[in-house]
Amino acid sequence: MHYDVLLWDLDGTLTDPKVGVTLSVQYALNRLGYPLGEVDDLDWIIGPPLKESFRTLLQTTDETLLNRAITIYRERYREIGLYENTVYPGIPELLSQLVVKGCKHLLATSKPKVFAEKILQHFSLDSYFSVIMGSELNGQFVEKDVLIAEVLKKVPAGSQSKTVMIGDRRYDVQGARANGIDVISVGYGYGTIEELSVASPDFIVQSVRDLEKLLLFDLV
């Protein structure tokens, strides 16, 4: 299948944010007086909306406490955490090759847009993207289906059949399905194979190399 318009998730798809995200969560939990989890026990928080993760971690529905946790998290994340991040090997080259092929890249991340822009700029990936869309700090566009719908407003009419969402969690699959576009799940991110299999994307690839084969050569 040939795709011309590529919507990309950020965390777990283009970059590995584990260190910055988990340490910033631990920072918030510590400040709030809650026990810290081991970093490896916090992988599951990468992908879902942050408030939902804190709801589980703090075992609360108290909106004031949840918003306080997010505020403290962002104190560390905006200064340090967003740079404790690495680009998956092969991603810059793949983005470049796809641009040469004539594809358009659009970012569709639940991460706040202000942070997503800084990350792409930091890693010199921003020039590949014609649209960089994320959530707002007030929580708008944090749900993936709403976010993708907003991004698709930037896509030329009639190109939906050539449009695909690429992400690592079930939220990406569900968001794509809600908007009637294909979806590729990447197994090298933070969604388990069980999670992705149950979500039932159009394709599951296990590596950046396999993603390259699918997008450039239709070999997967």
- The catalytic site residues sit at 9
Angle at CA 169, nearest 5°, toward 166 and 173? 60
Write the DSSP string, 74-132. HHHHHHTGGGS-EEPTTHHHHHHHHHHHT-EEEEEEEEEHHHHHHHHHHTT-GGGEEEE
Site of tokens 């793949």: 94
Q: How many whole angstroms separate alpha carbon 140 and alpha carbon 128?
A: 25
Q: How many whole angstroms separate alpha carbon 87 and alpha carbon 67?
A: 29
Determine the straight-line distance between the first and last CA of the chain, rounded to whole angstroms. 10
